[in-house]
Structure 1
């Protein structure tokens, strides 16, 4: 493998010009190019000089079978980070063009729009904004799609509003029954209506059937137990009478023997 460093401002290409090799990598002003080459492919990496940022793909490949670069040539534009933009909003910065490293901007949306994201961002050393640049969106949510075999009720789709879903007869709701519009987005996924199968209906009825059977068995058991108690009570009464009769007979015999 061979590698080299080429400042594109000088536009000094070191790739061999041959029909069986990739063409020289395309030049990019205000950048430093790092190139490597093997028998199979070539790779170039573009790095913009200080005060410029890259727009486009940073690395380009050239397969030596096709002999063409895989992506369009990037460009280096003035400013350490891309100029911040906020549609339907305003931003505040000490200087907007060109953007310098560590510069901080703040954001504010126009009337009727809600800021989605951070209200500030800083230009980083890697030429990116952090936190990411926000957006200004309307507080209204999009009209949800009516679930198949179901419907929903809603007053409106403004931020804070709720919608409630219902399914047709023979279908059951799978998912959240009620959703709320929160800063332009619904609080949950739109539910679906799923057909209720006969097996599911039987399964739902099974607990009721089991409860009824249990109650019936308990009542029957109590009835049988009540009958058993009555029989036992009657038997005890008979034995009591028999004992009293026997006791009376024995008392009479004792009296007669004493004379």
Structure 2
């Protein structure tokens, strides 16, 4: 008997020092040509911390410090930005409760139990900040608002010729935006826009004119309508140019 431990076999002192005493353990000694090995196994209800095996090296000393057998089977819980009760070694069937610091919210169960297989169930929770991060970027769109703290609001917009699909106004609620990220969907082209696009893409001028007139005829547009649309577009471009200067 070695403290509360059990020694399986006496080790000759002329070869190596006496094996270190480890409470609540069983010690197995293996002698072979070369080093002498010590193996520690913890008694039921305890778990080992440190090296399971030690050997006597050439300097006739043990190669590592002795392990320890701690009461309980589960590792101590870890909860960043929070705390748990009780503290200390956890016995089988022990239950701990969790809570987060201010400005953090608990994600997961607020309690967990130590099982016989050395695990916690339900899984250990995390403490997540109540503030939100940037919502992400929209393809062909953008958002307004640079405050992502709890309770803040942002608004999404799309570029010209695109429409917003989803929730435009969103709020930061307990670390999450109140809705999923919207998207920008391209608006359908008008017949005039299709005709103009076909005209611009054509490399044969005569064929381009012919195709353009065919599209206008097919769509029911008349030249006066086309002229008016072009004048509106020209006015919009001129206004943008003046604003830039």
Tell me the TM-score normalised to structure 1 length.
0.45
- Bigger radius of gyration: 1
Tell me the TM-score normalised to structure 2 length.
0.47
